Amino acid sequence: MLKRFFAYYRPHRGLFLLDFSCAVLSGLLELGFPLAVRGFVDYLLPGQDWGLILLASAGLLVVYLLNTGLMSVVTYWGHALGINIETEMRRKAFDHLQKLSFRFYDNQKTGHLVARVTRDLEEVGEVAHHGPEDLFIAVMTFIGAFALMFMVHPQLALITAVIVPLTAWLSAHYGSRMTTTWRAIYSRVGAFNARIEENVGGMRVVQAFANEDHERRLFAEDNARYRSTKLQAYKIMAASTSISYLGMRLTQMVVMIAGSYFVLQGDLSAGGFVGFLLLVGVFFRPVEKINAVLETYPKGIAGFRRYTELLDTEPDIADAPDAVAVSGLKGDIRYEGVSFGYGSEKAVLSNISLTIRAGETVAFVGPSGAGKTTICSLLPRFYEADAGRITIDGIDIRKMTLASLRGQIGIVQQDVFLFAGTLRENIAYGRLGASEDEILEAARRARLDTVIAGLPAGLDTVVGERGVKLSGGQKQRLAIARIFLKNPPILILDEATSALDTETERAIQQSLAELSRGRTTLVIAHRLATIRDADRIVVVDRNGIAEQGRHQDLVAAGGLYRRLHEAQQGGSAQQGAA
Ligand code: ADP
Ligand code: MG
């Protein structure tokens, strides 16, 4: 995993080297400062030469300016390195999401996926910047400071060395408790994020049931839990900072007493004494740094692990190596012994065979849950058949590239997804880059033009992320306009008008009829009246295809279709009899 992480540094080798060497140099200059003070006190002060003192101060000023430069390089370019890596990872994660199939999304929570691409990677980016250099510098400073202390006065250094590990151990102890607490905080944040997402998404339902108080209570619980976990974290933080503060001051006290003794003994110079005290401060810095590292690392590692997990999820439906791009298909569709199941439960389709001629309109009817939508989902390879094969114009669909296959099929469903943006953008989603005239023509054919004409902003009307400003019928017209623009030879209409009132349905039906002209059409209908005139009706029940034929023949046959037909006719027939 470490190897995989460092692979992301490779394109930024230059930047990393710059950042790293500046950070190391800056660390060395900080180490040198106590020695400079020692020299100042021991050699310059006794000389009482103001010229030299000012000269040395000027030299020190130059060094400080240099260090300022180094630190700003580290702050800016080091973070730039982190964000470059983070951006690259985010691009890859998003790319990968585009490749994963329906089956993957069936089993994922949106909020969690979003978190992977946003928050998780932010934490990885944080480690990508601070990670390697912080650790290196902490170790370098720790060892360097100790070596210098030893050089200045070995006995005093050894005394210090006894106290410091104790503080370091306490720090590490609190650090690891902090890690656990952070993990808890993140899961609390996840919980109330999910709560807010659901609440805002379902606000219409919440208000319709006047359940605001119930929602408030649920949220208050999550919020309180988050608060108490956060307080826990602050408690640990307070304990840990006070301990390391106390540790450092105690060490300085001990050094002061022992140092004074050595100075009085004539064993240590005044400059050495001051320099040593400053070195103790430097010596403690890595301990704090390591605490910070202990805090960011686990988060970053967890984030990186979730990221690689996502990248390692192989798309279960992808282009075969020998796949060809198809275009201009006629639309001769053949299902040959197709079986399919969604998962562990019993197969939804077993051994289905079906031939649909180019230009034919075939209607699928049957009880809800029979598998009508499933049959249609296999054609664009949203799901892959477990057995058997599906061909279009005699070519196995698995031999076609996914993009070209899906380019040949237009789908209108009950729910129309509108992207946040204008009507124009939403129609143009059918064929990106379509001209203004083409968009207007598609809108006209879908009879959306009168709707557009009635809007002050026309095509530039923003429809909002959930399209709340369009009626159900208008949304269907928009979906139809998209397909007119796309102009595919094959059409799937999956209960496109089932959610509409009968009057709107009738109006939309005309547009759908026009859309399906000259295209092979698979239509799933809830209201049988809408598919009476289909070239063929396929009746699907839980055991597969029960019967097929034209309306009149199926009514005459007296099977499942007739029963469904009579059930829907029931109301009006009785009225007629009365
Ligand atoms: P229909 O369109 O005829 O109402 P579907 O094809 O939608 O039926 O569903 C057929 C069966 O497959 C149902 O039992 C349904 O619960 C199940 N099913 C549909 N979609 C999924 C899915 N994404 N994951 C798991 N099971 C599914
Ligand atoms: Mg369905």
Q: What is the CATH number of the domain that holds 35?
A: 1.20.1560.10
Same domain, 277 and 363: no
Q: What is the 445 CA–ligand 2 centroid distance (Å)? A: 26
Q: What is the DSSP string of 73-133?
A: HHHHHHHHHHHHHHHHHHHHHHHHHHH--HHHHHT--HHHHHHIIIIIHHHHHHHHHHHHH
Ligand whose nearest atom lies closest to the CA of 107: 1
Minimum mean pLDDT range among 25-29, 161-165, 398-402: 161-165
Q: What is the 353 CA–ligand 2 centroid distance (Å)? A: 19
Write down the pLDDT at residue 573: 44
Same domain, 180 and 213: yes
Instruction: Locate 109 and state its tokens.
Output: 């929570």
Minimum mean pLDDT range among 178-182, 317-321, 401-405: 178-182
Q: What is the ipTM of this complex?
A: 0.98
Q: With cut-offs at 50, 70 and 90, classify the pLDDT of residue 375.
A: very high
Tell me how many degrees the CA angle 422-489-447 measures, rounded to the nearest 5: 40
Contacts 24+ apart (CB under 8 A), 175-179: 175/240, 175/290, 175/291, 175/294, 175/295, 176/294, 177/236, 178/233, 178/236, 178/237, 178/240, 178/291, 178/294, 178/295, 179/294, 179/295, 179/298
Q: Is residue 480 situated within a structural domain?
A: no
Q: Is residue 229 situated within a structural domain?
A: yes
Q: What is the 35 CA–ligand 1 centroid distance (Å)? A: 76
Q: Distance between CA atoms of 405 and 420, rounded to whole angstroms?
A: 27
Q: What φ, ψ does residue 216 adopt, rounded to 5°? A: -60, -40
Distance set, CA 510 to CA 428, 446, 498, 501, 528 (Å): 22, 9, 15, 15, 16
Closest CA to 516 of 536, 537, 501, 534: 534
Write down the pLDDT at residue 577: 37
Same domain, 287 and 383: no
Q: What is the pLDDT of the chain when averaged over all its residues? A: 89
Domain containing residue 375: CATH number = 3.40.50.300
Q: Is residue 439 situated within a structural domain?
A: no
The larger pLDDT score, comparing residue 538 to residue 244, is at 538
Greatest mean pLDDT range, 115-129, 130-144, 464-478, 485-499:
485-499
Mean pLDDT of the region 223-242: 88
Sheet bearing 333-340, strands edge to edge: 349-356, 333-340, 387-392, 395-396
Using the atom order of ligand 1, give the atom closest to the CA of residue 383: 23
Strands 536-541 and 361-365: parallel
**170-209: string of b/e by CB count within 10 Å (b at 16+)?**
bbeebbebbbebbebebebbeebbbbeeebeeeeeebeee
Same domain, 293 and 144: yes
Identify each DSSP E strand in 393-501 by its residue range.
395-396, 409-413, 490-494
Mean pLDDT of the region 373-378: 96
Using the atom order of ligand 1, give the atom closest to the CA of residue 106: 23
Q: Evaluate whether 492 touches 405 at the Cβ level (below 8 Å).
A: no
**Enclosing H/E stretch for 449:** helix 449-453
Q: With cut-offs at 50, 70 and 90, classify the pLDDT of residue 576.
A: very low
Q: With cut-offs at 50, 70 and 90, classify the pLDDT of residue 206.
A: very high
Residues listed for the chain: 578
Q: Is residue 124 situated within a structural domain?
A: yes
Ligand whose nearest atom lies closest to the CA of 413: 2
Same domain, 378 and 290: no
Identify each DSSP E strand in 452-568 by its residue range.
490-494, 520-524, 536-541, 544-549
The larger pLDDT score, comparing residue 295 to residue 440, is at 440
Q: How many domains does the chain have?
A: 2
Instruction: Evaluate if residue 288 carries a pLDDT over 80.
Output: no
Q: Is residue 6 situated within a structural domain?
A: yes
- Per the structure, the complete domain to which residue 44 belongs is given by 2-311
Pocket-testing residue among 340, 373, 379, ligand 1, by greatest number of atoms within 8 A of Cβ: 373
Same domain, 218 and 278: yes
CA 402: distance to chain centroid? 23
Same domain, 116 and 148: yes
Instruction: Evaluate if residue 44 carries a pLDDT over 80.
Output: yes
CA 82: distance to chain centroid? 18
Q: With cut-offs at 50, 70 and 90, classify the pLDDT of residue 306.
A: confident
Q: Distance between CA atoms of 349 and 75, rounded to whole angstroms?
A: 60
Ligand whose nearest atom lies closest to the CA of 343: 1
pLDDT in tens, 85-114: 999 999 999 999 999 999 999 888 777 788
Q: Which of 262, 283, 311 is the last residue of a domain?
A: 311
Instruction: Evaluate if residue 145 carries a pLDDT over 70.
Output: yes
Write down the pLDDT at residue 282: 87
Mean pLDDT of the region 30-37: 91
Instruction: Evaluate if residue 570 carries a pLDDT over 80.
Output: no
Mean pLDDT of the region 544-570: 90
Write down the pLDDT at residue 467: 56
Q: Is residue 222 situated within a structural domain?
A: yes
Instruction: Evaluate if residue 279 carries a pLDDT over 70.
Output: yes
Q: Is residue 109 situated within a structural domain?
A: yes
Please count the other Cβ atoms lying within 10 Å of the Cβ belonging to residue 566: 11
Mean pLDDT of the region 396-413: 96
Instruction: Evaluate if residue 367 carries a pLDDT over 60.
Output: yes
Mean pLDDT of the region 323-337: 96
Same domain, 300 and 347: no
How much of the chain, in percent, has pLDDT values that exceed 70? 97
Write down the pLDDT at residue 466: 58
Q: What is the 110 CA–ligand 1 centroid distance (Å)? A: 20
Q: Is residue 381 situated within a structural domain?
A: yes
Same domain, 353 and 280: no
Q: Which of 285, 311, 337 is the last residue of a domain?
A: 311
Instruction: Locate 353 and state its tokens.
Output: 């065979």
Write down the pLDDT at residue 468: 61
Q: Which residues contact 474 (CB under 8 A, 6 or more apart)?
A: 448, 451
Same domain, 259 and 186: yes
Instruction: Locate 7 and state its tokens.
Output: 């692979």
Q: Evaluate whether 248 touches 284 at the Cβ level (below 8 Å).
A: yes
Q: Say if residue 259 is exposed, middle or buried (CB neighbours under 10 Å; 0-12, 13-18, 19+).
A: buried
Same domain, 219 and 368: no
Which residues pair with residue 538 across a beta bridge?
364, 548
Write down the pLDDT at residue 162: 82
Pocket-testing residue among 104, 340, 342, ligand 1, by greatest number of atoms within 8 A of Cβ: 342
Greatest mean pLDDT range, 114-118, 181-185, 485-489, 494-498:
485-489
Q: Evaluate whether 356 touches 392 at the Cβ level (below 8 Å).
A: no
Write down the pLDDT at residue 88: 94
Which residue's C-alpha comes closest to atom 7 of ligand 1?
A: 373
Mean pLDDT of the region 389-417: 95
Minimum mean pLDDT range among 127-141, 161-175, 430-444: 161-175
Q: Which of 264, 284, 311 is the last residue of a domain?
A: 311
Q: With cut-offs at 50, 70 and 90, classify the pLDDT of residue 504.
A: confident
Q: Evaluate whether 372 touches 524 at the Cβ level (below 8 Å).
A: yes
Q: Say if residue 570 is exposed, middle or buried (CB neighbours under 10 Å; 0-12, 13-18, 19+).
A: exposed
Same domain, 303 and 352: no
pLDDT in tens, 516-528: 999 999 999 888 8
